[in-house]
Chain A
Amino acid sequence: MKYWRRPLDLDKVCLPRAEVRIIEERCKGCNYCVTYCPRNVLVTGEKFNSKGYYPPHVKNQDECASCGLCQMICPEFAIYHIVQRPEVAEQSV
């Protein structure tokens, strides 16, 4: 992440992080997760599943802020996030 000035508490702030997982066979391709992820982590995938729906693809894993919205908004219980140990902001500058 880029900062326009170096925050004074940069060594104390922790960025929440998560890994996003998709259960492709459950997905029905509604695109809610792709549209509403606030960090544009997801894109519509290019491969279809056995029912012909296009599950999302995790394009920018590193951008995921562990907000959990994709998991909440998915009507199919097809996407979830695994919270990772937070990263000290300073290391990601």
Chain B
Amino acid sequence: MIDEQVLDGLHPMDKLLRADRIPHIWCPGCGIGTVVYSFLSALIKSGLDLDKVAVVSGIGCTGRAAGYINLDSFHTTHGRALPFATGLKLGNPELKVVVFSGDGDLISIGGNHFIHAARRNMDIAVICVNNFTYGMTGGQLGPTTPIRAKTTTSPYGNTEHPFNLPYLAAASGAVYVARWTSLDARRTERAIGEALAKKGFSFVEVIAPCPTLYGNMNKMKTGLDQMRFYEENSVIRHGAEPKDVDITLNGQIIVGKFVDIEKPTYLDLRDNIGSIV
């Protein structure tokens, strides 16, 4: 164990990273890097054949993850990670297809793809880094921004109801739904491991700091301020009803595993069309 790590003087995760691109572009304290670590760590522990894993991202700060992960990884157009991933899975059903993208990419411009991929129970694991904003384009209001939160396009506070992502995923048909914060790095890793092992549409939401924009406009100027907020306000409630886990600006963040059910996938149904009665 010791020798392998020390010899090259590199970080143990460098074997799954395009290490020549590190340091990455994410801001100091940005939570995306931690979620990437949890994801890669879960992949290693999953025992999956990494030659048969494909990672798909859309556009956004989170979408850059595909460019740092040294697997078959695809940086697709904005909002289209899920249709691209669906095509990959249908073209080569042997692949384990993972979508790693942001709240804006998956739920705003890609929202329709999201509900339909979940409805079909497409065999894809989706990891959504939710930082409550469009980070890459300057911190605009997005579909997960809590009511009253300030963003560059809601300088007096947001007046739109946000989506509750676990509820949306569960109602659309996801067979696995969990939420953690990036502070819960180990639990995030475990949840992603379960999502990878699950057949069908699995969804892990990870709340993560965007200190530069979202945090800065909402009295949490550093990533650490946001992590402390999670520490004080997140409550583990496994099996909570997804409809009860909505997020408010200063309220509790309910985390845990909310859905874990069995249901035939799109491919199960397609391949057994003759025997369905």
Contacts and interface: CB of A to CB of B under 8 A. Distances in A.
Interface of A: 23, 25-26, 28-32, 35-36, 53, 69, 71-78, 80, 82-84
A72 B37 contact: yes
Interface string B217-233: 00000111001000000
Interface stretch (B1-9, B131-139, B234-242): B1-9
A73 B41 CA distance: 12
B85 to A, nearest CB: 25
B124 interface: no
A75 B189 contact: no
A13 B32 CA distance: 38
Contacts of A35: 224, 227
Interface stretch (B10-18, B86-94, B194-202): B10-18
26 contacts: A23-B11, A28-B23, A29-B28, A30-B224, A31-B224, A71-B12, A71-B37, A72-B186, A73-B34, A73-B183, A73-B185, A74-B33, A74-B34, A75-B30, A75-B33, A75-B37, A77-B14, A77-B33, A80-B5, A80-B11, A80-B12, A80-B13, A82-B6, A83-B1, A83-B2, A84-B2
Given A74-B34, A76-B33, A26 B22 contact: yes
Contacts of B33: 74-77
A35 B227 CA distance: 10
B129 to A, nearest CB: 11
Contacts of B1: 82-83
A72 B189 contact: yes
Interface of B: 1-2, 5-6, 10-14, 17, 22-24, 26-34, 37-38, 41, 182-183, 185-186, 189, 222-224, 227
A76 B22 CA distance: 8
Q: For A23, A28, A80, which residue has the most chain B Cβ atoms within 10 angstroms?
A: A28
Given A32-B224, A69-B186, A82-B2, 11 more contacts: A23-B11, A26-B11, A53-B28, A74-B34, A74-B37, A75-B31, A75-B34, A75-B223, A77-B33, A82-B1, A84-B2
A25 to B, nearest CB: 7
Nearest to A25: B23
A66 B277 CA distance: 55
Contacts of B28: 28-30, 53
B223 A76 contact: no
B224 A77 contact: no
A29 B23 CA distance: 13
A56 to B, nearest CB: 13
